[in-house]
Amino acid sequence: MIELILATANAHKAEEFAALFDPKILSIKAAPKKLEVIEDGSSYFENAKLKAQGYYNEFKIPVLADDSGLNVEALSDELGIHSARFGGEGLTDFDRANLLLKKMEGKTNRQAYFTCVLCVYLNDKEIFYFEGRMAGSIGYTYRGSSGFGYDPVFIPNDVEGELTVSELPEWKNKNSHRALATNLAQKFFSQRN
């Protein structure tokens, strides 16, 4: 078993990771304190590494960090690695999701996908990455009360009907971009030891 600290201040992510990982393979616990790491990379991989390296350098403990976001084909330069800052400072998740719906008005291409890149930073020489993607489209209304972020406006491809991720909490636990990346990490580390 590998013990890791999680490099995030997002309580929802911490809850999701705790539920996704098998503690016999990778044990995740919160970092002793939150660090302000500047995420100025140009990709999910760079930002995940910046977070992992920042926490590793501070605590000298193996770290799990992730960078994730929503990629919308019709707004290719606006979200992605900037998803958490979409629309500027001071907006809530609800505000950002509704801003996205407004910007998508009149657009016929509603294709989108969530990306999660995990960086497992064991030490300066052992750094591993795992990427998960969940494909779907942007809906027309805000629906559902489960999940967070853009979940209430994202309709995944792999389900019947027009349900958003926010209306599919059990499905999300097994099929989200984060779950897919986690599965890859668990498989890799279970075979490595």
Q: Is 66 a catalytic residue?
A: no
Angstrom distances, CA of residue 180 to CA of 22, 32, 131, 166, 184: 13, 27, 8, 17, 6
- Distance in angstroms (rounded) separating the CA atoms of residues 152 and 138: 9
User: Among residues 67, 93, 95, 124, which one is catalytic?
Assistant: 67
DSSP string, 117-180: EEEEESSSS-EEEEEEEEEEEE-SS---SSS-TTGGGEEETTSSSS--GGG-HHHHHHHSHHHH
- Distance in angstroms (rounded) separating the CA atoms of residues 115 and 95: 21
Phi then psi for residue 113, to 5 deg, are: -155, 145
Catalytic residues: 67
